[in-house]
A = this chain, B = another copy of it.
Amino acid sequence: MEQLLTQLRAYSDQLVKLPEHEWTRFAGIMQPASFNKGQHLLEIGHVCDHVCFLGTGLVRAYRIHDGEDLTEQFFFEGNYATEYESFLTRTPSTVGLQAMEPCTLVRFNHADLQGTYASSPMAERMGRLIAEHIFTGSSRRTRSLLFDTPEQRYLALIKERPKVMARVPQKYIASYLGLKPESLSRIRARLTRKPVAA
């Protein structure tokens, strides 16, 4: 828990240096939690009522589409993991959050967070910066899906998010890249035969 607070403090300080009393208030609404591998942080159909900051572990966001389990995103330790859309709009999530490794984390529930926003201008700013940050991430993702080939996306993933390749089974990565597992396998085979051509 000490460790976890330190991580979160480091993350937050990058965005906004909260005055000590605001940090204390912010820390006051944290709820520690932990999940075993395979457990759900959020079930599909529930309204996402928490934002989670991961101290350790790995979480995937997935949906069921035409009966298929498709992975939409991966969240690693040292980052926030949440279904932000459901959290913001207060509507049932079409996405589930599942621990792929044992996770330790702290959660902030929606009501507490809104209260903090209301009473702390710096927290409000932090919220804005986080929203802006995840927007730029989402925006890059959209761009990559529109303009890059699956092979380019795979190569970019290796370069930019090596942890994913290292810690996630391939079948989950495939749908994250917008592919079937067989296709990802073939792309990998193609690349090892002809390493860095082009």
Contact = CB atoms under 8 A, between A and B. Distances in A.
A81 to B, nearest CB: 15
A139 B85 contact: yes
A175 B145 CA distance: 12
Interface stretch (A2-10, A20-28, A123-131): A123-131
Nearest to A87: B132
Contacts of A138: 135, 138-139, 142
Copy number in the complex reads 2
Interface residues of A, number: 30
Interface string A42-73: 00000000000000000000010100001010
B88 A145 contact: no
B147 A145 contact: no
A145 B141 CA distance: 10
A175 B124 CA distance: 37
A84 interface: yes
Given A131-B128, A132-B131, A142-B141, A147 B65 contact: yes
Interface in A126-160: 127-128, 131-132, 134-136, 138-143, 145-147
A146 B85 contact: no
Interface of A: 63, 65, 70, 72, 84-85, 88-89, 117, 121, 124-125, 127-128, 131-132, 134-136, 138-143, 145-147, 175, 178
Q: What are the 7 tightest A-B residue pairs by CB atom distance, in nearest-first order? A: A128-B128, A131-B131, A135-B135, A145-B145, A138-B138, A121-B121, A131-B132
